[in-house]
Amino acid sequence: MKKITKLGMAAAVLFCVVGLGSHTQAAMAAEETTIENGISIGNVNVGGMTENQAISAVEEYVDGLMDTTFTLKGETGSIQMTAEDMGVTADADTAVQEALAVGHAGSLINRYKTLQDLKKKTLVLDMHLSVNKQATAEKIYESADDLAVGAVDNGLKRVNGKFEFVKGKEGVEVDVVNSVYAINDFLAQGWDGSNNEIDLVTKTVEPRGDEKELAEITDLIGSYTTNFASSSAGRAKNVITGVSKVDGTILYPGEEFDLAKTVSPFTQENGYELAGAYQNGTVVESFGGGICQVATTLYNAVIRAELEITMRFNHSMLVHYVEPSMDAAIAGNYKDLKFKNNLDAPVYIEGYCSGGIIYFNVYGKETRPSNREISFESETVSKTDPKVQFTMDASLTAGSVSVTQSGQSGCIAQLWKIVKVDGKQQSRDLFNKSNYQATPKLITIGTKDATSETLSALKAAITIGDEAKVRSAAAGLKTNAQKKEEEQKEEEKKDDTDKKEDADKSDTDKKEDSSKKDENNKKEDTKKEDSKKQDTKKETTSSTNTSTKKTQSSKESE
């Protein structure tokens, strides 16, 4: 009887479940299915929601995660990345379908059991979070070097003219690909937002070059020197600094050397000083000025070792320390010297400075016949005479002339590579071709307070471009002060002349008056003299008459 009762009770429960199932199916047919209460997708409670409502709720939650910052930990530090940086998304459709299936799928008994469990404990389903692998990888790559411990390659050093092996050290770097998968797994495995630290995957980096391989470097296969003894202190320091950064370089077969990358940046912090450098046809002060002599010396050593030149630029203007087409320049990100080890063994580059001389030696494994020799010959194809450029400077004394840059000829040149065997020429091949601008002669002329008339004459001479005429016009420059002074002197001279003329006229008038007076006096004297003579004459006549009368009277008295 008990067994029958138990079976009957089970049947009754089953009937109820079946009835419940039938009732649920009927309700679902009447209205849209909702997710059972007690179900969450990640941190989102979706109980009682329809499919669309649940999808919207999950997507809204994920949108709110975009500012969440994750700490990605490496060997030497960590980097910060947001969920937005990693392109975090959720597969809301899949997560909601899984939520809808709870209590609505499987046997009637399992459904019933599930519904009962939901009343006791919330069921948390996976949100199916994932990252954009490409975006995440790019972000990690940006900081990967900062999180790595670089390997120290096995190397060599020259001691008393011989090589000694120097053992290197292992390094550690970020394994970007596996780190991306680790981040994705971290989020996909039920991340609930409580822990935002993720360990990046790293890998060991072995040092390059084993002792046996480096032991092949035994022979001097190329060398060259240039003189920098006349350099300024700043330029000399730049040369020494640049050479030291190249010294000790080991280049393995197939590997390319980049000089600009090796010696830069050109800053005071990196050991460089201000010194002369070419820029836009003129010489300017620049940090690292003189580094091109390092490039030139290295270039000539390398081509004699017959390594492959993959990039070389000549200077914009001729240099004094090598013949045309034998130079190499580096500048900004547009001029560089690069070469590749095209040999079967590694090469070692030794560089040092002594007594104002740059020395570069390339060591490797000599495979060329001993009776074969190479040389390089410079040929100037054409020349260009320098022009003269004049600059007027209103801050300098009018008429002053100074040469701020000496002119230098330009040219087109080419370099020939000559190969001889047993002293006989086997080939003569064009190795490179270079075009050098003429360096203009720069003359500055002071024009401070110059008069418009003399300044116009100077400008006219500059337009013609004849240096002699320009210098003559410069010598003829007058300032407004000088012009005013000359005008004042001219006015004073004129006044003096007028005064002199007036004085002369006055003297003349006085002389004329005096002369007239003298003449009048003379005439008066003459008149007086004549009158006196007349009087004398009268007196004489009268006296004679009286005497005659007396004589006559006397005779009569006798």
- pLDDT one-digit tens code per residue, 235-258: 999 999 999 999 999 999 999 999
pLDDT of residue 53: 94
Per-residue confidence at 115, pLDDT binned at 50, 70, 90? Answer: confident
Q: What is the pLDDT of residue 111?
A: 83
- The answer to whether residue 203 is domain-embedded is no
pLDDT of residue 276: 79
Q: Are 236 and 347 contained in the same domain?
A: yes
Q: Which residue did the predictor score with more confidence, 36 or 509?
A: 36
Whether residues 259 and 350 fall in one domain? yes
- 497 — phi, psi (to 5°)? -65, -45
- In this prediction, residue 30 has a pLDDT band, given cuts at 50, 70 and 90, of very low
> What gap in Å lies between CA 407 and CA 441, rounded to an integer?
4
Q: What backbone torsions phi and psi does residue 25 show, to the nearest 5 degrees?
A: -60, -40
Same domain, 224 and 364: yes
CA 251 to chain CA mean position, Å:
28
Contact 47, 39 (CB under 8 A): yes
Predicted local distance difference test score (pLDDT) of residue 76 = 85
What is the 3-state composition of the chain as percent helix, strand, coil, each rounded to the nearest 5?
45, 30, 30
**Reported confidence tier of residue 550, pLDDT bands at 50, 70, 90:** very low
Which CATH number fits the domain that encloses residue 452? 2.20.230
Confidence (pLDDT) at 105: 80
Amino acid 509: pLDDT = 66
Question: At 400, is the secondary structure helix, strand, or coil?
Answer: coil
Question: Which residue spans within 167-258 are E strands per DSSP?
Answer: 171-174, 197-199, 202-205, 219-227, 249-251, 256-258
Q: Residue 219 forms beta bridges with which residues? A: 364
pLDDT at 230 over 50: yes
Report the alpha-carbon distance of residue 111 to residue 50 in Å, rounded: 19
Q: Which has more pLDDT, 124 or 540?
A: 124
43 within a domain of the structure (yes/no): no
In this model, does residue 28 exceed pLDDT 70?
Answer: no
Burial, 473: exposed, middle or buried (Cβ in 10 Å; 0-12, 13-18, 19+)? buried
Residues 359 and 387 in one domain: no
Clarify whether residues 300 and 323 are in a common domain.
yes
Is 318 found in the same domain as 300? yes
Q: How far apart are CA 388 and CA 409, in angstroms?
A: 12
Q: CA 195, CA 125: separation in Å to the nearest integer? A: 18
Residue bearing the bigger pLDDT, 497 or 395 = 395
pLDDT at residue 104 above 70?
yes
408 Cβ contact list (under 8 Å, min separation 6):
317, 318, 386, 438, 439
**Omega of the bond leading into 369 within 30 degrees of 0 (cis):** no
Distance CA 381, CA 295 (A): 24
Answer whether residue 401 is part of any domain.
Answer: yes
Among residues of the chain, what percentage have pLDDT more than 70? 82
| Structural domain containing residue 16 | 1-28
Which of 110-124, 148-162, 486-500, 516-530 ranks highest by mean pLDDT? 148-162
117 has a pLDDT exceeding 70: yes
Pairing of strands 249-251, 44-45: unpaired
Final residue of a domain: which of 447, 478, 509? 478
Q: Are 347 and 305 in contact (CB under 8 A)?
A: yes
Q: Can you give the pLDDT at residue 19?
A: 43
- Burial string for 252-286 (b: 16+ CB within 10 Å, else e) reads eeeeebebbeebbebeeeebbbbbbbbeeebbeeb
Question: Is there a domain that residue 247 lies in?
Answer: yes
pLDDT of residue 492: 67
Residue 147 lies in a domain: no
Model confidence at 534, in pLDDT bands (50, 70, 90)?
Answer: low
Q: Which residue has the higher pLDDT, 332 or 29?
A: 332
Q: How confident is the model at residue 554 (pLDDT cuts 50, 70, 90)?
A: very low
pLDDT at 113: 87
Indicate if 385 and 336 belong to the same structural domain: no
Q: Are residues 261 and 357 in the same domain?
A: yes
Judge whether 414 and 430 are in contact, CB under 8 Å.
yes
What integer pLDDT is reported at residue 535 of this predicted model?
A: 61
Would you say residue 345 has pLDDT above 60?
A: yes
Give the Cα separation of 518 and 528 in Å (integer). 14
3-state SS track over 418-466: EEEECCEEEEEEEEEEEEECCECEEEEEEEECECHHHHHHHHHHHHHCC
Does the pLDDT at position 70 exceed 80? yes
User: Which of 23-37, 208-222, 340-354 has the least mean pLDDT?
Assistant: 23-37
Average pLDDT over residues 397-401: 92
Phi/psi of residue 49, each to 5°? -90, 150
Residues 340 and 326 in one domain: yes
User: Does 514 score more than 90 pLDDT?
Assistant: no
Q: Quick check: 23 pLDDT over 70?
A: no
Lowest mean pLDDT among 93-102, 222-231, 300-309, 338-347: 93-102
Residue 547 falls within a domain, yes or no? no
Q: Is 127 in contact with 99 (CB distance < 8 Å)?
A: no
CB 462 within 8 A of CB 390: yes
User: Is 123 part of any domain?
Assistant: no
Residue in this structure with the two tokens 């411990």, named with its chain if needed:
149
pLDDT at 325 over 70: yes
In this model, does residue 507 exceed pLDDT 90?
no
pTM more than 0.95: no
Residue 361 sits in the same domain as residue 396: no
Q: What integer best gives the mean pLDDT of the chain? A: 86
Q: How confident is the model at residue 10 (pLDDT cuts 50, 70, 90)?
A: very low
Query: Is there a domain that residue 106 lies in?
Result: no
- CB distance 205 to 151 below 8 Å: yes
| The residue type at 395 | S
d(CA 39, CA 34): 11
pLDDT at 214 over 70: yes
| Percent of all residues in the chain with a pLDDT value above 90, rounded to a whole number | 62
Mark whether 269 and 320 lie in a shared domain. Answer: yes
Q: Looking at residues 283-291, what average pLDDT do you find?
A: 85
Select from 393, 367, 247 the least CA-distant residue to 306. 367
Tally of structural domains, the chain: 4
Torsion sign across C-alpha atoms 235, 238, 244, 246? negative
Q: Give the range with max mean pLDDT: 184-188, 306-310, 440-444.
A: 306-310
Does residue 236 sit in the same domain as residue 363?
A: yes
pLDDT tens-digit map of 136-190: 999 999 988 888 888 999 999 988 889 999 999 999 999 999 999 999 999 988 7
Residue 462 neighbours by CB under 8 Å, 6+ apart: 390, 392, 470, 473
In terms of Cα–Cα distance, which of 497, 503, 447, 449 is closest to 473? 447
Higher-pLDDT residue of 551, 363: 363
